Structure formats: structure tokens, C-alpha cells
Amino acid sequence: MSHSTEQPLSLLRSLIQARSFGDSTLRFLGSLLVSKDVKSLIEVRSGVTQLLRSECISVLLSISDKTVREKLIVLEFFVRAFALVADHESCLALRYEALVMRQMKSSNYQWLRVSPLEWLRFVEDALNNGFHSVAEKACENALSYLRNNDVLKPGTDAFTENLNAVSEITRLRNRAMTLVASRSVQVQAAEYLRRKTTEQKMSGLSFKGKRCLATTAFRNGIKRQNVRRLNQHQSLLKINNELDGSHLNLR
């Protein structure tokens, strides 16, 4: 990483470690991503993404004993930060964490309630970014939560809006399940093709090995046969020579 990149990243790290989770830090982060040089922009974006991931884990571990409000402020900061660097996976993961946290604490704090529209927006973003299994899980969680909540009781505020949102979440859940199943079939098919290719290669090597062994055995057999014939020929010559010698002695 270049020296010009290290200095602003070091400043961003200092701001996060100082727990400066306000708009000013986000504006500074956004200023780092403004570059006319594409190569520099890619380098800065990569460096910022790695820094955010590392610092996010450290910060979340350090606030385990904080209040729900304080935790949500930190999660919101990192959600917006990851959105700026287009790290959709980390952004969605933290959004889901925040929604689940609010859902769990909403029985004690009404202001934490997650509306059907919030769940719907999250599911749509997860599907649009290709995180089908995350969308399916979020749909199941949302439907289970909303059915046990009074937001769907007739006469409540925004009843029709909530009902439409739940209907859309149900539709998206079915779509997500289909996509997950399709993906599973594709993965299994790819794995099957890889396995068959490997087996064919191994079979080919085995056949070559057997063919080499057969060829070697055939050649060795010919050599043994030739040696045997040579020995037979030499024996005949020896006998003939002895007979010739005997005839000479008789004469």
C-alpha cells in the first residue's frame, strides 16, 4: 500500500478507535473514496474495507455490556460505512443483526419494534444482492415475529400497509426458497461433474499403468523366448562340434 494511502487510513482507524461514530467520520470516509485515479480508488477501497471489517469486530466485542441504544448506534454507523465502500455482505450482516436485536428487545421497549416494511426492504436487498439463503432466513424470522405481533390486528394503524408487506414477504420467501433449492442443485451437479472428471482421469492413469505393465511383460516374454532359442542354438552347435571332433578322432 502506498504512503499516500496509509496516512488517511491511519486517521480513519484513530477516529473509530476513539469511538467517533458520527456523521463527521462518515464524511471523512466518503472523502477517501473520491479519486480520479481508478487504480488508487481500488487500492483505497480495498484498504478501507479491510480496516472496517477488522475494527468492526473489535468494537462489537468491546460493547457487549452496553445498552441496546448504544449498540444500535454502533451498528448503524458500520452499516452506513460498509454501504459507502459497497461491501454489501458486511452491510447486510449488520443490518440483520440490528433487526434481530430490536426484535428480541421489543417486548420491553416498544420503540424497538421492527415494522413489516423494514423486514420487506431488508429481504428485497438481500435477494437483489444474491444472498438468497439470508433472505429466506430473514423471511422466516420476520413472518414468525409479525404473526405474534399486534401489527396485523384489524383496526391498528397501517393495518392494510402491514398486511400487504407480510403478503409480499411471503411471496419473496417462496422465491428465495426456490433460488436456494436451484442453487443447491447446481452445486450438486457441479460437484458430480468434478467427481466424474476426476474418476475418468484416475481411470485413464490406471489404464495407462496396466497397459505399460502388459507391454513390459510382453517384451520380457519375447526376450526370454529369444534367450531360450539362443541357448538351444548354442547347445546344438556344441553337440555338432563334439560330433565333428569324434569323427576326426576316429579317422
* Among 36-50, 75-89, 92-106, 206-220, the least confident range: 206-220
For 6-73, the DSSP string reads HHHHHHHHHHHHTT--SHHHHHHHHHHT--S-HHHHHHHHHHHHHHHHHHHHHHHHHTTTS-HHHHHH
- Average pLDDT of the segment spanning 12-31: 93
State the sign of the Cα–Cα–Cα–Cα dihedral 12, 17, 21, 22: negative
At 150 the pLDDT is 62
Q: What percent of the chain is modeled with pLDDT above 70? A: 67
For the stretch 40-68, pLDDT in tens is 888 888 999 999 999 999 999 999 899 99
pLDDT band at 249 (very low <50, low <70, confident <90, very high): very low
Report the mean per-residue pLDDT for the chain: 79
Q: Give the CB-side neighbour count of residue 163, counting CA atoms within 13 A.
A: 9
| pLDDT tens readout for residues 180-213 | 887 655 555 555 566 666 766 666 555 555 555 5
Report the pLDDT averaged over residues 79-94. Answer: 93
CB contact at 8 A, 2 and 43? yes
Is residue 95 predicted with pLDDT exceeding 80?
Answer: yes
Reply yes or no on whether the pLDDT at 240 is more than 90: no
Q: How many helices (H) and strands (E) does the chain have?
A: 8, 0
pLDDT score for 202: 65
What's the pTM?
0.66
- Residue from 58, 62, 91, 87 nearest 75 by CA: 91
What's the rounded mean pLDDT across residues 28-37? Answer: 83
pLDDT score of 98: 93
pLDDT given for residue 189 in this prediction: 52
